Structure 1
Amino acid sequence: MTPRWISVLFGALLAGAASAAPGSNTDVVRDLAGRVGPIIGSALACTDVARPRIQTIVDKFAAVIKEASSNEAERDDLTQLLNRSAADGRNAVTTGKMDCRLAERQLADLERSITGPGPTLAGVVGPTSAAAATANAPVPAGPPVRGVTDTEIRFGIAAPFSGPAKELGRQMKLGIDTAFNRVNDAGGVNGRMLRLIAADDGYEPTRTGPAMKQLYEKDQVFGFIGNVGTPTAAVGVPYALERRTLFFGAFTGANILRNDPPDHYVFNYRASYAEETDAVVRYLTKLRRIQPRQIAVFAQQDSYGDAGFAGVAKAFRTLGVNDSAIVRLNYKRNTVDVDEAVNQLKSQKPAIKAVVMVASYRAAAKFIEKTRDLYPGMIYTNVSFVGSTALAEELGLLGPRFATGVIVTQVVPAVAGYSSMVLEYKNALAKYFPGEAADYVSLEGYVGANVLIQALKRTGPQLDTERLIDNLESTRNLDLGLGIPLNYSRSEHQSSHKIWGTALDENGRYQPIELE
């Protein structure tokens, strides 16, 4: 079959149907079933092809069969022919006679034949008298979708753009904007431009509700992407769920966004804090030979710190170690008041040799500043939320001895690397935001935005939240150039579980390290 066969076939069958006697429609449909069925079957054999797309074709053809059949036996015969043809198409893929790239292209051609100008499936078999009477009537528009116009799709981000964590919000927005600008330059998504609208919550949960309300009610966003923080997510997620609105790619690894089964409207790109801290504990105990009782946790005194501490405790239990004696050193959110934590660290016997830090960049830097000379051999590790670049800058101001060897686990590849996605990101960042340095937080925003963009493209022009979620849940083996495939399903709303290790060198640059 050539790439043009579908349009030729539809034209020929339409011409035949126009002059056919009323009773001959079944022959037209029979011929069509033998040709469309293999496309359906080959698409079904390809896990990357979104199931809602295929189901749309199946539903339309079922309606055609029903209209063309004069009795139940005829209908069953046509349905069985379609099913047998679909089985042949599936077999062609599984035996290697056809690849999924061709299968997807043929499905796209068929979709255009159904929805585009020219012959349609219903037209091929001849309209009924009732349909003929309204054939030239305008197609009624569906109900308007919040945040979606003929030319634009609006998304919102509630994040800190003021206060001590503002660099996290700025970088997350920067990464998403870079991805949106890149796709908009290429014509947008199905002809619509993507737009990101920001609201500042200052990383304070009391401000998150008003920020979400502003985006939803005033700015009329379609969904939320890239919200920053765990305590703020504890407010933002329920707000989105109550309104059945997408909450995508938040900058947090907390379990409140990772329920089992997953919340229908919540999707994560990144690995969880439990996965990050588990990787760190295994690294410290197995590669660095630190005794578990010599590992402490420096944590923000809220749900973010709780999530990281719970991850460490779980890792201890996995190792068969009692987690009840883990030392937790606390500080208050949006402060650098770490004196109590430092005093508590000094009192520990035996001396602590490694600290797992679940903090933001300024508090983490202040803690390292106040303890580095007291414990020259201390190993400091941070989860990715810390804000790697901002942490490096804070420590760089203090001097090389404060930065050298500080570890940060990452949920994206090294920004200094040469993977396809990183190169694409850095080129786009330089084009749209010249002068901005590559950053782990903005890279995460860029990657997450691209995952969403791919789902938006597959959903097609008839966009609404449920159709988009169907396509997200059908994402299989998505290759964005990260070195790992990304997957979602109805029971899995986190696409990546990969942890990368990095450590600062004497020049304040992150170098990759092996965690196992």
Structure 2
Amino acid sequence: MTDTEIRFGMAAPFSGPAREMGHQLKLGVDLAFAQANDEGGVHGRQLKLVTADDAYEPNRTLNAMKELYEQQKVFGFVENYGSPTALISVPFALERHALYFGAFSGAPSLRRDPPDRYVFNYRAGYAEEADAIVHYLVRNRRLRPQDIGVLTQQDAYGEAGWEGVTKAMRTLRGGVPGEVFRMSYNRNTVNVDEAIAQLRRQRPAIKAVVLVATFRAAAKFIEKTRDLYPDMIYATISGVGSTGLASELMVLGPHYADGVICTQVTPAVDGYATVTMKYKNALAKYFPGEPADYSSLEAYLTASILIEGLRRAGPALDTESLVNVLESMQNYELGLGPKVSFGPSDHQALHKVWGTQLDKSGQYHAIDLE
């Protein structure tokens, strides 16, 4: 931070299979920063985002964090990507008392009780999303808990989703634990063949799969199982990268996209909520040609909350004063429906989960999860 600039860092994948996610998250933060800078910045300081590529590989995350903190001299971190990478980047930030704001992860490692002082989240946790999916499948689609299986990525992201599903299952069974059919695949791959072999051996056959996967692996699993199980219900959580998933499935054909459920941590990108319209208008102004995307919308909302915190903290800014201000933020109206609040015991801005479902044209439509 200088008299004229506040610099934030983002460690995310800008190469490798998840690179599109890095692009979308950077786009969303850049969008919010560009808007704020055009309005004079924050107390005369311009906001700048610098990035480092870890390719969604935890063994590269430490070097990415060091590059941002030691070489780029960032004030804090915003919208870092990934749950397995957070196991490296969060301790790095905490040891340096650096702000770690709004990571694209719903993992419990970022949601300790009580919360780590410098870690703040925008989104609902993966456990909350998984809980919403399981209850929807049982309550609205009339499935039994034993009819539902899970495909998980073999890492902290997959484990977080798995824990959410199994916890929801226990609740539905009155607290009695029961076996849940689980398949898995290696992170940063689309090798789902063994998972499909497990599915084919499973008796009795399941009727729905909760996919705790990234979009290419999820699409590959759907591609290879849709015709084998034409009545299967596929449900994913927001960590999948829902826009990427829709695109991958539409390449395969409308048959593969139709009916796929995805929980979201933002309002619908094709909706008319004020904050969504503001995002799309800014996208057309600053990045014409870039389509609206759930991931960039999430990053835009995350950065917008951060900017509000910076404004409230005043010109004499440091990390401790900013954390104090964020912990006092109550009922901030961002236009999401639920208001944004933090507190010393709750560093998660929202707990809301929205439901969407794909149609044959590859468009998401709102569904009621209640």
Category of TM-score, reference length = shorter chain: over 0.9
Tell whether 2:20 aligns with 1:167: yes
Q: Larger relative contact order (C-alpha < 8 A, sep ≥ 6)?
A: 2
Distance 1:495 1:388 in 2: 21
Q: Answer whether contact 2:150 2:211 (CA < 8 A) is retained.
A: yes
Secondary structure in structure 1 of the residue aligned to 2:42:
coil
Distance 1:323 1:186 in 2: 54
**Residue of 258, 269, 272 corresponding to 1:404:** 258
Q: Hey, what does 2:153 align to over in structure 1?
A: 300
Tell whether 2:212 aligns with 1:358: yes
Tell whether 2:36 aligns with 1:178: no
Q: Hey, what does 2:326 align to over in structure 1?
A: 472
Alignment of 1:7-406 (within 5 A): 148-320=1-173, 322-406=176-260
The amino acid that maps onto 2:148 is I
Secondary structure in structure 2 of the residue aligned to 1:298:
strand
Q: Where does structure 2 lack aligned partners over 5 or more consecutive residues?
A: none
Q: How many residues align?
A: 369
Distance 1:323 1:225 in 2: 38
The amino acid that maps onto 2:173 is G
Distance 2:222 2:101 in 1: 33
Encode CA deviations 1:238-270: one digit per residue, 9 max, x unaligned: 000000000000000000000000000000000
Q: Hey, what does 1:109 align to over in structure 2?
A: none
Distance 1:317 1:298 in 2: 18
Secondary structure in structure 2 of the residue aligned to 1:202:
coil
Distance 2:257 2:87 in 1: 32
- TM-score, normalisation: structure 2: 0.99
Encode CA deviations 1:267-290: one digit per residue, 9 max, x unaligned: 000000010000000000011011
Q: Answer whether contact 2:149 2:209 (CA < 8 A) is retained.
A: yes
Q: Where does structure 1 lack aligned partners over 5 or more consecutive residues?
A: 1-147
Encode CA deviations 1:332-358: one digit per residue, 9 max, x unaligned: 001000000001011111111000010
The amino acid that maps onto 1:252 is S
Q: Hey, what does 1:73 align to over in structure 2?
A: none
Q: Hey, what does 1:51 align to over in structure 2?
A: none
Secondary structure in structure 2 of the residue aligned to 1:484:
coil
Secondary structure in structure 2 of the residue aligned to 1:350:
coil
The amino acid that maps onto 1:209 is L
Tell whether 2:359 aligns with 1:500: no
Distance 2:243 2:126 in 1: 19
The amino acid that maps onto 2:288 is P
The amino acid that maps onto 2:333 is D
Distance 1:380 1:234 in 2: 29
Q: Answer whether contact 2:170 2:178 (CA < 8 A) is retained.
A: no
Secondary structure in structure 2 of the residue aligned to 1:408:
strand
The amino acid that maps onto 1:368 is I
Secondary structure in structure 1 of the residue aligned to 2:137:
helix
The amino acid that maps onto 1:281 is V
Encode CA deviations 1:142-173: one digit per residue, 9 max, x unaligned: xxxxxx10100000000001111111111011
Distance 2:181 2:283 in 1: 41
The amino acid that maps onto 1:295 is I
Secondary structure in structure 2 of the residue aligned to 1:496:
coil
Encode CA deviations 1:120-158: one digit per residue, 9 max, x unaligned: xxxxxxxxxxxxxxxxxxxxxxxxxxxx10100000000
Encode CA deviations 1:59-99: one digit per residue, 9 max, x unaligned: xxxxxxxxxxxxxxxxxxxxxxxxxxxxxxxxxxxxxxxxx
What root-mean-square deviation, in Å, do the aligned CA atoms of Structure 1 and Structure 2 show? 0.7
Distance 1:395 1:234 in 2: 31
How far residue 324 of structure 1 moved from its aligned partner, in angstroms, is 4.0
Distance 2:27 2:245 in 1: 18
How far residue 291 of structure 1 moved from its aligned partner, in angstroms, is 1.1
Q: Hey, what does 1:485 align to over in structure 2?
A: 339
- Which is richer in helix? 1
Distance 1:290 1:401 in 2: 23
Q: Hey, what does 2:289 align to over in structure 1?
A: 435
Q: Hey, what does 1:116 align to over in structure 2?
A: none
Distance 1:287 1:256 in 2: 31
Distance 2:234 2:34 in 1: 37
The amino acid that maps onto 2:26 is K
How far residue 320 of structure 1 moved from its aligned partner, in angstroms, is 2.0
Q: Hey, what does 1:124 align to over in structure 2?
A: none
Q: Hey, what does 1:445 align to over in structure 2?
A: 299
**Residue of 317, 326, 336 corresponding to 1:463:** 317
How far residue 478 of structure 1 moved from its aligned partner, in angstroms, is 0.5
Secondary structure in structure 1 of the residue aligned to 2:109:
helix
Encode CA deviations 1:35-69: one digit per residue, 9 max, x unaligned: xxxxxxxxxxxxxxxxxxxxxxxxxxxxxxxxxxx
Distance 2:154 2:187 in 1: 6
The amino acid that maps onto 1:318 is T
Distance 1:226 1:356 in 2: 25
